[in-house]
């Protein structure tokens, strides 16, 4: 897995997630959850994200000339998105639409906010790391 991912590719992936999660909320069709869920699972399990792969062919400069995004952080963010998309799909199938929509809206909002410049997943991971650090130093 690469150490970093060029920001335009990260934004492309975030846009893909936003468009499909929002489409699910608007049209209530399970396929709008299944597509980003499948792409996310491919990225997590096989380290192959087809959206990023296709996006690479549209980059005009060498990959290392773009602002880098930490691959580990993006992996963490993808895990959160996959969990919420899975929850949304399960509740949609079960007929509990308000929970399905809530999870999908959380994914859509997080991806939109990330596109606008604030990474909620980064904030969560940072807080988790702080908690782990404090806990490890309390017992010393």
Where exactly are the structural domains of the chain? 4-138
Q: Considering the entire predicted model, what is its pTM?
A: 0.94
Which tens digits make up the pLDDT trace of 62-71? Answer: 999 999 999 9
pLDDT at 41: 98
Residue 72 clears pLDDT 70, i.e. is over it? yes
Q: Which two tokens stand for residue 110?
A: 């997080």
State the average pLDDT for the chain: 96
The CA–CA distances, whole Å, from 73 to 4, 10, 122 equal 9, 11, 7
């Amino acid at each position: 897995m690469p150490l970093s991912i060029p920001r335009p590719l990260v934004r492309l992936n975030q846009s893909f997630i936003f468009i499909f999660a929002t489409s699910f909320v608007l049209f209530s069709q399970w396929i709008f959850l299944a597509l980003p869920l499948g792409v996310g699972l491919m990225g997590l399990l096989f380290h192959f994200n087809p959206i990023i792969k296709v996006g690479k062919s549209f980059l005009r400069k060498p990959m290392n000339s773009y602002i880098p995004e930490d691959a580990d952080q993006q992996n963490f963010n993808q895990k959160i998105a996959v969990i919420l998309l899975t929850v949304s799909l399960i509740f949609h199938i079960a007929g509990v639409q308000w929970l399905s929509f809530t999870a999908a809206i959380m994914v859509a909002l997080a991806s939109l906010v990330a596109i606008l410049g604030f990474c909620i997943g980064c904030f969560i991971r940072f807080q988790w790391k702080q908690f782990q650090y404090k806990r490890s130093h309390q017992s010393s």
